[in-house]
Chain A
């Protein structure tokens, strides 16, 4: 079997009580694109980090090109031809492209000689693989798509034959993702072996030759991509049948519950993040905001939620004006019927060191229900938390457990339960399923639809275009702080993708 590039035998790794990789076997054929799919926490990234020498396996063997190798650190991995593109780019932002590519692979103690050589070699690589990027540009000035290209160049510069990509499309627009896939196709044609880690089934189907599925630290199956289906893979990932389509009926929009007019938000450096945005959300409808991360959606949500000051504009909540440019008071907004599920549950939505029950009342601690004079009524709080745990199927069902010990999906359910069970008129939700497993996604989507059907106005921000398309009744696309277009959920992905990339929007604005 000399056409096997990578073989893993019996890889085992535990982090304390967590068995991240349980006796994993994997064969990756040379010159193919091999997908590894699984839910968050299934152990994909751990496995690849072991292959790259970032972690050490407790047990198991690694064979590269048929020879056993002991990969103790990234250096060894690089020396046997393995390169990795990390999910969070490992780039120094205030360095140039060239400096980043060279880092760790400089030829001599003095940089000058090395720089000239690296520049030449980089130019060669760019030409060979059609990966153009200005070597003297600073990383922080490059869009993420190009930053990722630099990561790929880094690996190629180190003469990697086997390229691992960890969730590479998370930060890309659909068009950038397509471009990436073309690049990967080209690399494959040049004989490189590619391992693609993802939780997006569509990507697996589109580009891989073979796919391995991981679930809860175990390798459950390997399939030839042509011979499998999305449904089969989803079932393998979750361990049971899942509904991939969100089922929902027609929306019946009522009165305008949330009206935003000419909202402009600047960040601390004075850069305009939200630029003159106007929108309306009616009772009983879900308005989705699509866009690549960083185009002002986060700031828009925060300004509406009263945790960020707007420079100008008005917001009407239930027909009454909200002081968005002056005094901010999220508690008051909550009392007036606005609930907010923040994008970043770890830093904004939850205090991870608190008990579940404490997080379940975060921000509502002045509610007389939870008070006993000036003291908190701990029994009432726990009882309330237990009700929510039952209703939202939060696991483990323990209101006294530290919140950090819940999985991402269950943490998100804690936040959702807190905000939804208040019976708000307007619900604004950021990234409802970021870092949430497929099973929980299904549940969360159902709950959001239920809120709509109960006549709530829902404003949804997500970078997952599929999520926006399947949940929303109307879709607004944001690019560079502006709403560049409105589409119905039937709009094609390509159409939305062009808007997200700012291509269509400019034309529309010009017309």
Chain B
């Protein structure tokens, strides 16, 4: 394989692994821009993946699986919302609690229901997402350069993949071009301004949290219904945290979020690709180091390369009328 083909394959798998990151980071964008920090993206994604896998296995319907994923994820979001908005609890503690509860309960429920060591049964074709071939993909595959880019890189992904990337401009439009978005951004900066303008801070933040739940639902469903055929315990493997890192790296802006996720996805794809391949100069690199690479780079990027990331000013602070 020449370099060009290696690159196409690498970028294709970059897209594949970036999808859950894009969904989750956009999910985080909605709540954090509204002033509710959410470290529970990981847990919501995992819960959604489990719900999707379990329901799709039982109903044999991918759509029921997706619906279940979204519902469970919204439910978990509402728990976080209740703790941090209504009860004014600590948002980090609430998020961590959700991560732990989900990590434990998915294994227990999975074992109790399916007795496959915490997995859900492998899904048959109709119960999971199929890749979509874009029109004309096969016809132009042999055209040099453009052919492989269209046929191998852009075509042949899941519906959710296209949705994820469509959500980027959509999120931008919602945040910057609608009344809801204006208010959402305002409530993350100065909830007092929103309250005195006669808008309910609480209801607004709940809606932001629900948006987060929907998007995390897509992220989870992608993992168990598209990327693999069924749920495996702990299958999110820290993607929720990487998404959070991408969100900070992107300074809470939709377009940057996409590029940050693609960058982290690329590192991930590169690590998979380079496993077992001797590198020039260094020779054979241990598999573990390659696997750790994206995480190491995450630390380096966050520590030094982003300049000052200024989070939404009211982030993490429950709203209490002054007195």
Contact = CB atoms under 8 A, between A and B. Distances in A.
B189 A92 contact: yes
B194 A104 contact: yes
A99 interface: yes
A99 B193 CA distance: 12
A95 B196 CA distance: 16
A54 B181 CA distance: 24
A100 B193 contact: yes
Given A106-B182, A109-B180, A75 B198 contact: yes
A81 interface: no
A103 B189 contact: no
A94 B177 CA distance: 16
B177 A104 contact: no
Contacts of B183: 103-104
A90 B181 CA distance: 18
A95 B189 contact: yes
A91 B182 contact: no
Interface string A100-137: 10111110111110100000000000000000000000
A74 interface: yes
Contact of A111 (B182, B190, B196): B182
A15 interface: yes
Nearest to A86: B196
A15 B197 CA distance: 24
A416 interface: no
B177 A105 contact: no
Contacts of A109: 178-180
B195 interface: yes
Size class of the A contact interface (CB-based, 8 Å): 20 to 34
By CB atoms of chain A within 10 A, which of B179, B192, B195, B196 has the most? B196
Contacts of B195: 54, 74, 90
Interface string B169-185: 00000000111111101
Contact of A106 (B179, B189, B193): B179
B186 A110 contact: no
Contact of B313 (A54, A93, A114, A154): A93
The binding surface of chain A is classed by DSSP as loop
Contacts of A112: 177
A90 B192 contact: yes
The binding surface of chain B is classed by DSSP as helix
By CB atoms of chain B within 10 A, which of A75, A90, A108 has the most? A90
A114 B181 CA distance: 14
Contact of A110 (B177, B192, B198): B177
B309 interface: no
A93 B186 CA distance: 9
Contacts of B199: 103-104
A73 interface: yes
Nearest to A53: B198
B185 to A, nearest CB: 8
A99 B194 CA distance: 12
Interface in A43-101: 52, 54-55, 73-75, 77-78, 84, 86, 88, 90-95, 99-100
B163 to A, nearest CB: 22
Contacts of B323: 15
Given A74-B197, A105-B197, A99 B182 contact: yes
A74 B195 CA distance: 8
A84 B197 CA distance: 10
A189 B190 CA distance: 33
Interface string B4-19: 0000000000000000
A378 to B, nearest CB: 33
Given A55-B321, A74-B197, A90 B178 contact: no
A492 B181 CA distance: 50
Contacts of B189: 92-95
Contacts of A102: 182
Nearest to A77: B198
Interface in B79-109: none
A91 B194 contact: no
A283 B94 CA distance: 57
Contacts of B177: 110-112
Contacts of B198: 73-75, 77-78, 104
Interface string B281-323: 0000000000000000000000000000000010000000101
Given A55-B321, A93-B313, A103 B193 contact: yes
Nearest to A100: B193
A20 to B, nearest CB: 9
A93 B196 contact: no
Contacts of B180: 109
Given A73-B198, A78-B198, A91 B193 contact: yes
B184 to A, nearest CB: 11
Contacts of A154: 197
B193 A90 contact: yes
A169 B185 CA distance: 29
Contacts of A77: 198
A103 B193 CA distance: 8
A73 B194 CA distance: 12
B103 to A, nearest CB: 36
B196 A74 contact: yes
A86 B192 CA distance: 10
Given A15-B323, A75-B198, A78-B198, A92 B190 contact: yes
Given A74-B198, A109-B178, 14 more contacts: A90-B190, A91-B193, A92-B189, A95-B185, A100-B193, A102-B182, A103-B193, A105-B197, A106-B182, A111-B177, A111-B179, A112-B177, A114-B179, A154-B197
8 contacts: A54-B321, A78-B198, A92-B185, A99-B182, A103-B194, A109-B180, A110-B178, A111-B178
Interface of B: 177-183, 185-186, 189-190, 192-199, 313, 321, 323
Across chains A and B, which 3 residue pairs bring their CB atoms closest together, nearest first?
A104-B197, A75-B198, A90-B193
